[in-house]
Amino acid sequence: MTSHRANAVLEIDLAAIVGNWRSVVARLAPATECAAVVKADAYGLGMREVAPVLAAAGCRLFFVAQIDEAIALRGILPNREIAVLDGFVAAQGPEFQEFHLIPVLNDLGQLAAWRQIDAAARPPAMLHLDTGMSRLGLPAAELARLQTAPALLAGVALRAIMSHLACPDDPAHPLNHVQLTAFRAAVVGLPAAPASLSASSGIFLGRDFHFDLARPGAALYGVNPQPATPSPVAQVLCLKGKILQTREIDTDSTVGYGATYRRERPGRIATVAAGYADGLLRSLGNRGSATIAGRKAPIVGRVSMDLLTLDVTDLDPETTHPGNFVELIGPGHDVDALAAEAGTSGYEMLTALGRRYHRVYRDSAS
């Protein structure tokens, strides 16, 4: 049961997240380790709730983007490895030591700064090589320098050597194999360490891309890692908004700010208690849809901060009473579908989800 105060409810199925992690593990060779990426508050779904269930399922290594996220995660998971994708600056040394955090070193300057820490009290580190993303990681020239001067790594315990794919959601993209080849060549010249190339989508490119360590994020949270084919992962979300009012409107009435929607015959509009402040992007205006008792209703007019409006003219009025809930994300309309209507990705949709939903965590295991 939802609270009488709940105007919009986000149900998060922790058991499904664990199931998705296990299904990724099952895809990997037995010797390949599977981490979990829980940056950005576990893609908006709640790191505090998600990380412990993944740890209980056997995940030993967690990635976050920022050191603040890592420190928060250390309070949740005292005994798991935590890696920080954003890298390292010298001033953060005491915190990396105190909280036993693994930096992902992204250039030779970060590596040199890391080696300033007393080796006896220094956590392991990861090294990130850029093989074609041109975002983070050692550029090719720095990699070449490192290969000719291995002393630059002296004393550094390498937890992994990693790189990141630019186009793994498009299996036919030539850059996938260009990066694979570059990564294979790069690790040959470096000290032995577990190699890691793939996030969610890369894992689904096949065994060649798995190496020793995989780093899935989005697939755990129900985003389809291979959008051109049916999703291999389970949905984990249900997002519902309450109907606050239902009204009849006449021919030529307009709906919402800017009067961007005009009906040509009389109809019915249902106003729902969720808007762009809740992550239902303005781009859903006159494009998105919701589901009411199994029927689709289009979002008409602009999305406002706290509200959106549905055209429910063709729906059974019994299903559109004030107080009823409509489904914005659910079995018939998953996060990728809503994202497509908004002109964005499931990733952005998830991380945009607002802070004021009544959140309900389900864990069939507990």
Site of interaction with ligand PLP (CB under 6 A): 37, 39, 85, 164, 199-201, 215-219
Q: What is the β-pairing status of strands 267-272 and 237-249?
A: antiparallel
- Least Å from the CB of residue 300 to ligand PLP: 33
- Least Å from the CB of residue 211 to ligand PLP: 13
Report how far residue 123's alpha carbon sits from residue 99's, in angstroms, rounded to the nearest whole number: 10
Instruction: Using the minimum distance from each CB to ligand PLP, give the nearer residue, 84 or 153.
Output: 84
Instruction: Using the minimum distance from each CB to ligand PLP, give the nearer residue, 219 or 297.
Output: 219
Report how far residue 79's alpha carbon sits from residue 350's, in angstroms, rounded to the nearest whole number: 28
Query: Which uninterrupted H or E stretch holds 161?
Result: strand 158-162
Which alpha helices (H) appear in 239-352, and where do they start and end? 335-342, 346-352
Phi and psi of 149, rounded to 5°? -135, 65
- Least Å from the CB of residue 219 to ligand PLP: 6
Q: Out of 221, 240, 242, 257, which one is annotated catalytic? A: 257
Q: Out of 39, 240, 357, 361, which one is annotated catalytic? A: 39
240 given a catalytic annotation: no
Instruction: Using the minimum distance from each CB to ligand PLP, give the nearer residue, 132 or 217.
Output: 217
- Least Å from the CB of residue 39 to ligand PLP: 6
Residue nearest to ligand PLP (CB): 217
- Least Å from the CB of residue 342 to ligand PLP: 18
242 given a catalytic annotation: no
CA distances (Å), 333 to each of 54, 161, 288, 290, 353, in order? 26, 38, 10, 8, 16
- Least Å from the CB of residue 89 to ligand PLP: 18
Contact 212, 232 (CB under 8 A): no
Closest by CA position to 153, among listed 196, 115, 181: 115
- Least Å from the CB of residue 164 to ligand PLP: 4
Instruction: Using the minimum distance from each CB to ligand PLP, give the nearer residue, 200 or 224.
Output: 200
Report how far residue 62's alpha carbon sits from residue 21's, in angstroms, rounded to the nearest whole number: 12
Instruction: Using the minimum distance from each CB to ligand PLP, give the nearer residue, 233 or 342.
Output: 233
What is the torsion angle, in degrees rounded to the nearest 10, for the CA atoms of residue 32, residue 35, residue 37 and residue 42? 130
Closest by CA position to 119, among listed 154, 161, 165, 69: 154
Contact 84, 93 (CB under 8 A): no
Report how far residue 206's alpha carbon sits from residue 32's, in angstroms, rounded to the nearest whole number: 13
Report how far residue 247's alpha carbon sits from residue 255's, in angstroms, rounded to the nearest whole number: 11
Quick one: how far is CA 137 from the chain centroid? 21
Instruction: Using the minimum distance from each CB to ligand PLP, give the nearer residue, 136 or 360.
Output: 136
Instruction: Using the minimum distance from each CB to ligand PLP, give the nearer residue, 38 or 53.
Output: 38
Report how far residue 169's alpha carbon sits from residue 179's, in angstroms, rounded to the nearest whole number: 14
Instruction: Please compute, for residue 112, the number of CA atoms within 13 A of its CA located in the half-sphere on the CB side.
Output: 7
Quick one: how far is CA 359 from the chain centroid? 17
Report how far residue 146's alpha carbon sits from residue 65's, in angstroms, rounded to the nearest whole number: 25
Catalytic residue numbers read 39, 257
